[in-house]
Amino acid sequence: MELNKETRTRIREAIKRYPIKRSAVLPLLHLVQEDQGYVSDEAIEWIASQLELEPINVYELLTFYPMLRRKPLGKKHVRVCRTLSCALRGAHRTCATLETELDCKEGDVSEDGEFSLEYVECQASCGTGPVVLVDELTYEEVEGEKALRFARSLKDRNLGSDPDFISYEEKVEAGLGEPHEKAPHSAPREKKIILQHADARAYRNDLKTYLAKDGYETLKKAVRRKPEDICAEVEASGVRGRGGAGFPAGMKWKFLDRRSGNPIYLICNADESEPGTFKDRQIIYKDPHQLIEGMMIAAYAIQAKLAFIYIRGEFFEGARILEKAIADAKAQGFVGENVAGSKYSCEIVVHRGAGAYICGEETGLIESLEGKRPYPRIKPPFFPAALGLYQCPTIVNNVETLCNVKHIVDMGGNRYSKLGHAGNTGTRIWCVSGQVKRPGYYEFPNGAVTLGEIIYDVCGGLLPGRTLKAVIPGGSSAKVLRAGERFQGKLKNGTAFDWGIEDVPLDFDGPMAAGSMSGSGGIIVMDDGVDMVEALANVSYFYAHESCGQCTPCREGSLWMKKITTRMTQGGARVDDPDLLLSIANQIEGRTICAFGEACAWPVQSFVSKFREDFDAKTDSSPDGAQLPFTPASEPVIK
Amino acid sequence: MSEENNTVTINLDGDDVQVTAGANLIEAVAPHGKEIPHYCYHPKLSVVGNCRMCLVEMGMPMKDRATGEPILDENGEVKIGWMPKPVIGCGTNVAPGMHVRTDSELVHDCRNGVMEFLLVNHPLDCPICDQAGECGLQEFALDYGRGYSRFVEEKNVKPKQVELGPRVVLDDERCILCSRCIRFCQEVADDDVLGFVDRGSHSTLTCYPGKSLENNYSLNTVDICPVGALTSKDFRFRMRAWFLKETPTICSESSVGCNATVSSREGVVHRITPRRNDAVNDTWMTDSGRSLYKEIDHKDRIRSFRVGSKEVSVSEALEAATNLLGSSKVALVGSGSCSVEEQFSLKKISDYLDAPTYLAGHFGEEDGLLLSADRTPNLRGALATGLISKYPSDNLKSLGRRLAKGEINTLLCVREDLLDVGLTPTQLKGVRIVYLGTLENQTSRMAKVVLPALTTFERSGSFINLQFRLQKFLQAIPGPAGTLPDVFLLNQLLAELRKEPATPFSMDEIWTEMGKRRGSILKGFTFGEIPLDGVLLDPGKFRAFPYVERKNLHFNLSDFRKGSNTSSQQAT
């Protein structure tokens, strides 16, 4: 294999970082691809031989992850996010503009080899959609007339010097953060703990800045306490996981099998990929040391031998920021040998994914980290706390959760538990995207605001002339809520409630009481201009694309639902379709290895049953249905 | 362990039943007549739980967390905490007090759903599919199919007629992605060449390009494929499964003695497949063992009795053989490929003639799994029947010396090619040979008298495998017209040598007689009483012989020496 010297060095180092060689498959695939532009057959066999694997083991991964490729791309590779939030803001039009201007078909390389263009799934920048990635840089709000200028600038190689187009990464480096005039951080009643510094002027993501804000002081104190005391603080805080399921983190830690004698691992789940969610990105890019401090405290508390950050592959710069932050923290003794002068030692390894939503599922993530296809594991027996990474006890926590650990230990679990309310402690970062005036991320104590307040007050309401049609409260897998819907019942504490959609309190239990969930905190707002069939077709496309294919119901059902919804948006709706969609979703829900089954079924169940008239309208307009079998003209678009 | 310790009580569809402790639900409820349908689960492979066909409802008696006391309902019965979601039978192990519903509305709905999903992208090519008749999809579609399709979209298109290796063909559109074949290659065959590429519904089973599924166990993937995705090139388009008659047999490839099934129709064998025996071969066998049936119609097959080059009748051939053997310096060359019964008959001939008996070992490399170093199925039988008293070590060198010296000038050679096992043409010059075998070889061409032998598929008998497990094989098809079972020929020969009238005999009589021999380990059975999964014999004085086998799936020589006939090799 012809590889440049630096790549070879990095490959050697990458292999050394893992307790088991096979884990280095993804890093090696990334490195070889960076070096050569793609992964050749020769490279597959070379990587296999380096890691003492069979070539099929490498080939299986290469074809699973969309970010890995077997053919070279254009000199500039352009990725357009097509997932719901971006699509609602015109991603399909943006892509069409790019196709014309760059003279390059989506999914193809331009004839001159200058450009390649492809649709990609959620890039975790939903609040600034549509987003377009050019190689490793993320450009935000590339919509409408701006998209045309963007495409021309890109074509003319002027993008780098065009002040209108500064990538997210460049903004982070320059400390520009979110445009301040949008003032998300000055929203009324916001209480910023996790995002306290992230967007503050003059705050940088380097160690010096962090130390100036008393960074790592909590870690220093923590390692002088007993690990079990730290665990007790986290338990007392009542903090619930911020990744989606909302499971109490302290209880998760308690499940650790400490008697096995096997090493304990900590994994930070930074594979942020639930459509509508873009909070972890802000922490990673703008305040990485907060995460590292939180991780080291957590690692110490559970006495982890080694910690990993599994970061989604599209956060190219994010991974570099973390690597640098870890190196800097290590140089100061906050990571690695004798953490903060204690006897405790633990390294952090940054592991990049390669474009697979399923790696956000903790056991899928673990399989991926082990260098296998990320098929979620059956539970029982493979509960990570007992049989996790390398079959050793493992804790997987979300980025935001681990950041919270730092603040919990800093202020004490009991004090933390006073934030928010019982069972819903602490603050939460809500990510608002879709058709509101000021999409963005906002941190509130749990229950401090309602859905109505965040949409109308915090985000400035809907776009001019529009009214609210629907809200997905917790990422695209959460059941949609319909404007005008009423929710009645009793809360866990016995209080009766009778809410309109605007009254749903934003915490863990509120959206749950309304029959949906707060999930990962991704609120997607849709106005009266949205065709709910198109929106569902978009969501179903996502889930069909992301199903790992392991279990039958999800594998076959998700693609089937995509085929039906796509057909419905292209003039081929049949009278049976809405009921068929519901029946398929019901046949998936609760019957798969992981929660992906629910993730793809819930949107279908809720969209079809709550917006039946949109679906019936499609069948009314094509009463005879389509010519069968129906060949879709394209993928589903949101017009 | 007493049986009580080995079982637990669960409530199965309303009835309390005893089931095997530690078993998963699929295995545990099967003896109670409850079938939990499944595709990906295989008793000899790791559990992945991906097909979701085995979903059942499961609940446990509720206990108060604080006191540990059972929680009772209004009738004073222990409340059952049913899991909110159905669980997989393959991945759920029984526990005392567990409640299981395998027949509820929800369970049926789950099965109907999975069945429909499995079929939406499955081609409708049952009429030309080799699996038809023994296909898991057909079988459960009958029980759980909707009867009509709700799927009006275009089906996925995937590669068809892919040659995975020299013996296996893949149809990816039929594949239901259960991963049994992949797990088999990783966990049993240790030949990691298969995998899935792409993802979601587009996931495709493939062999790594440039590699081939060619290990000697590749056809097991065909056996365990629950659908028609993997088919055997040898069997492909040859015969409909439902026409096949199945007969239990024992593979004669090596001393492992894999239990197998002969599938035949109207006297023609169409395939050999493994028959489950957890103490011998689990559910596997070698590809090479499956091809042994080709001997039946081999171009060199001996189909008639011969004296010199003249075809003769049975009686003429036996008379000629009697004349040769009755009048001179005779020796016998027996074989580890003969059945126990045949070896016993040979032993009787040897005793009667006071002729020395020789036997050549056929030894090769063992593969650690199901092909042992001893490439004959019944060398242990030759020891147990007393046909030989020493473990064969030097091929036939000592016989060669005696032939050279002229001490022996006549040989009764059974299933052996003398020139192949250490004798030279010079040594055999002028030696008169009576040959009993299935195929023409150098010895048959030199023989004065040739008696046709039958293959294991054409006769019944028993072998003793490397564990000293006595296993029987049954005749599946008739031999070539005019031939007779070897054991019959040998008894007839003995009768004629003794100048006695031949008496009718049965296999059971042979066994009765064998059991009467002093010191015989072959006691206590008649042929009919040997169970189909065999019976372990006490090797007695034979335990310490210098066997060539070292380690196989269920055999370990050092354990054997220490007194344990079977060992389990832990799959990794």
Which of B52, B195, B202 faces A553 most closely, judged by CB atoms?
B52
Closest Cα partner for B504 from B528, B487, B517? B487
The reply to whether residue B201 touches residue A553, judged by beta carbons under 8 angstroms, is no
- A585, A483: one domain: no
Cα B381 to the center of its chain, rounded Å: 18
Q: How far is B283 from chain A (nearest CA, A)?
A: 25
* Beta bridge partner(s), residue A264: none
Task: Indicate whether A547 and A508 sit together in one domain.
Answer: no
Q: Is residue A222 part of a domain?
A: yes
Span(s) in chain B for CATH 3.30.70.20: 122-242
Q: Is A469 on the interface with B (CB under 8 A)?
A: no
Q: B555-556 and B551-552 as β-strands: parallel, antiparallel, unpaired?
A: antiparallel
Confidence of residue B518 (pLDDT cuts 50, 70, 90): confident
Q: Name every chain A residue with its beta carbon within 8 A of the beta carbon of B117.
A: 552-553, 555-557, 560, 587
CB–CB of A591 and B86 under 8 A? yes
pLDDT reading at B172 higher than 50: yes
What pLDDT digit, counting tens, does each position of B5-29 carry?
Answer: 699 999 999 999 999 999 999 999 9
Q: Is B120 on the interface with A (CB under 8 A)?
A: yes
Please tell me whether residues A260 and A368 are part of one structural domain.
yes
Q: Is A153 on the interface with B (CB under 8 A)?
A: no
The pLDDT assigned to A639 comes to 80
**What pLDDT does residue B326 have?**
87
Nearest to A638 by CA among A133, A155, A119: A119
B52 interfaces chain A, CB cutoff of 8 Å:
yes
**pLDDT score of A268:** 98
Average pLDDT over chain B, rounded to an integer: 95
Does the pLDDT at position A410 exceed 70?
yes
Chain B interface includes A579 (CB < 8 A): no
Distance (Å, rounded) from C-alpha B256 to C-alpha B260?
Answer: 12
Which residues in chain A are contacts of B92 at CB distance < 8 A?
A: 380
* Token reading at B541: 């004085």
* B92-131 pLDDT, tens digit each: 999 999 999 999 999 999 999 999 999 999 998 999 999 9
Share of chain B above pLDDT 90, in %: 90
For the stretch A225-247, pLDDT in tens is 999 999 999 999 999 999 999 99
- When pLDDT is cut at 50, 70 and 90, the band that residue B569 belongs to is low
Only one residue has tokens 């049926």, namely B108
Given CB atoms, is B187 within the 8 Å cutoff of chain A? no
**Same domain membership, residue A467 and residue A410:** no
Whether B181 and B230 have beta carbons less than 8 Å apart is answered as yes
Percentage of chain A beyond pLDDT 90 is 90
* Inside any domain, residue A511: yes
A620 to chain B, any CB pair closer than 8 A? The answer is no
Q: Specify the pLDDT at position B503.
A: 76
Q: Are A591 and A617 in contact (CB under 8 A)?
A: no
| Topology of the domain comprising B122-242 | Alpha-Beta Plaits (3.30.70)
Which residues 537-566 of chain B have a CB within 8 Å of chain A? Answer: none
Whether residue B43 is preceded by a cis peptide bond, meaning omega within 30 degrees of 0, is no
CATH topology for the B3-103 domain:
Ubiquitin-like (UB roll) (3.10.20)
CB-CB under 8 Å, B177 with A549 = yes
Instruction: Provide the domain limits for residue A119.
Output: 76-171
Same domain, yes or no: A380 and A432: no
Q: CB distance B85–A564 less than 8 Å?
A: no
Query: Does residue A25 form part of some domain?
Result: yes
Q: Kindly calculate the radius of gyration of chain B based on its CA atoms and give it in whole angstroms.
A: 28
pLDDT at A185 over 80: no
Instruction: Assign residue A327 the CATH number of its domain.
Output: 3.40.50.11540
Give which of A423, A391, A402 is closest to A302, Cα–Cα.
A402
Q: How far apart are CA B165 and CA B233, in angstroms?
A: 9
B201/A631 CB distance under 8 A: no
Element housing A144 (H / E): helix A144-155
Task: Answer yes or no: is pLDDT of A178 > 80.
Answer: no
Closest residue in B to A565 (Cα–Cα): B153
Clarify whether residues A516 and A536 are in a common domain.
Answer: no
B154 in reach of chain A (CB within 8 A): yes
What is the arithmetic mean of pLDDT over A457-471?
95
For CA atoms A275, A444, A426, A298, the dihedral sign is positive
The rounded distance, in Å, linking the Cα atoms of A383 and A377 is 8
As a whole number of angstroms, the distance between CA A285 and CA A270 comes to 12
Q: What is the pLDDT of residue A201?
A: 81
| Mean pLDDT (whole number) for B422-430 | 92
Tell me the pLDDT band of A338, cut-offs 50, 70 and 90.
very high
Rounded to an integer, the average pLDDT of A189-217 is 92
**Sole residue written with tokens 């352009």:** A78
Interface of B with A in 20-49 (CB under 8 A): 47-49
Give pLDDT tens digits for A497-554.
Answer: 999 999 999 999 999 999 999 999 999 999 999 999 999 999 999 999 999 999 999 9
Chain A within 8 Å of B123 (Cβ-Cβ)? no
A546 touches chain B (CB under 8 A): yes
Residues in B closer than 8 angstroms to A22, CB to CB, are: none
Residue B3's pLDDT is 46
In 3D, which of B305, B381, B387 has the Cα closest to residue B346?
B387
- Model ipTM value: 0.95
- Alpha-carbon span A256 to A393, nearest angstrom: 6
For residue B210, list chain A residues with Cβ-Cβ distance below 8 A.
41, 55
Lowest mean pLDDT among A215-229, B46-60, B383-397: B383-397
Does residue B2 have a pLDDT over 50? no
Q: Which residues of A touch B136 (CB under 8 A)?
A: none
Overall domain count for chain A: 5
Secondary structure percentages of chain A, helix, strand, coil, to 5: 45, 15, 40
The secondary element (H helix, E strand) that includes residue A119 is strand A115-120
Report residue B572's pLDDT band, with 50, 70 and 90 as the boundaries: very low
Domain check: are A399 and A474 in the same one?
no
Contacts of A559 in chain B (CB under 8 A): 121, 156, 200-201
Q: What's the rounded Cα separation, in Å, for the pair A398 and A391?
A: 20
Cβ burial, residue B501 (10 Å; 0-12/13-18/19+): exposed
Say if strands B330-334 and B357-359 run parallel, antiparallel, or are unpaired: parallel
Distance between CA atoms of B507 and B461, rounded to whole angstroms?
Answer: 8
| Residue A163 belongs to some domain of the structure | yes
* Neighbouring residues of B520: CB distance < 8 A, sequence distance ≥ 6: B384, B386, B514
Contact criterion met (CB < 8 Å) for B196 and A560 = no
* Contact with chain B for residue A367, Cβ under 8 A: no
Residue of A nearest to B55 (CA): A591
So what's the pLDDT on residue B255?
A: 98
pLDDT of res. A272: 94
The answer to whether residues A265 and A376 belong to one domain is yes
**B154 vs A630: CB contact, 8 Å cut-off?**
yes
A41 interface with B at CB cutoff 8 Å: yes
Q: Is the pLDDT reported for residue A413 higher than 80?
A: yes
DSSP code string of A49-114: HHTT--HHHHHHHHTT-TT--SS---SEEEEEE-SHHHHHTTHHHHHHHHHHHHT--BTEE-TTSS
Asked if the model's pLDDT at residue B139 lies above 70, the reply is yes
Q: What is the CATH number of the domain that holds A92?
A: 3.40.30.10
Here the tokens at position B125 are 């090519």
Residue A67 included in any domain: no
Residue pairs spanning A and B at CB distance below 8 A:
140
Question: Would an 8 Å CB–CB cutoff place B104 in contact with chain A?
Answer: no
- pLDDT beyond 80 at A621: no
A window 61-120, beta carbon within 8 A of B: 63-64
pLDDT at B570 over 70: no
Beta-carbon separation of B201 and A381 below 8 A:
no
Say if B200 is an interface residue toward chain A (CB within 8 Å). yes
- Residue A471 sits in the same domain as residue A549: no
Q: What CATH architecture is B305-404+452-561?
A: 3-Layer(aba) Sandwich (3.40)
| B376-403 tens-digit pLDDT | 999 999 999 999 999 998 779 999 999 9
**Which distant-in-sequence residues (6+ apart) come within 8 Å of A170 by Cβ?**
A137, A176
A115 and A228 in a single domain? The answer is no
Q: Minimum mean pLDDT among A349-353, B145-149, B493-497: which range?
A: B145-149
Phi, psi of B94 (to 5 degrees): -65, 150
CB-CB under 8 Å, B91 with A544: no
Q: Any chain B CB within 8 A of the CB of A397?
A: no
Give chain B positions within 8 Å (CB) of A63.
197-199
Compare all CA atoms of chain B with the CA of A374 and give the residue at the minimum distance. B199
In a domain, A586, yes or no: yes
**Residues present in chain B in total:** 572
Let me know if residue A443 belongs to a domain. yes
Does residue A375 sit at the B interface (CB-CB below 8 Å)? yes
3-state secondary structure of B124: coil
Query: What is the percentage of chain B residues whose pLDDT exceeds 70?
Result: 98
Mutate to test the interface with A, among B201, B204, B205, B227 (most CBs of A within 10 A): B201
Residues A241 and A352 in one domain: yes
CA distance A533 to A538: 9
Q: Assess whether A247 and A349 both reside in one domain.
A: yes
Contact check, Cβ <8 Å, B117/A555:
yes
Instruction: Please report the pLDDT score of residue A624 as a whole number.
Output: 65
User: At residue A631, does pLDDT exceed 90?
Assistant: no
User: Is residue A623's pLDDT more than 80?
Assistant: no
Helix A532-546, helix A612-621: angle, nearest 10 = 100
Angstrom distances, CA of residue A109 to CA of A67, A88, A112, A134, B492: 15, 26, 8, 14, 83
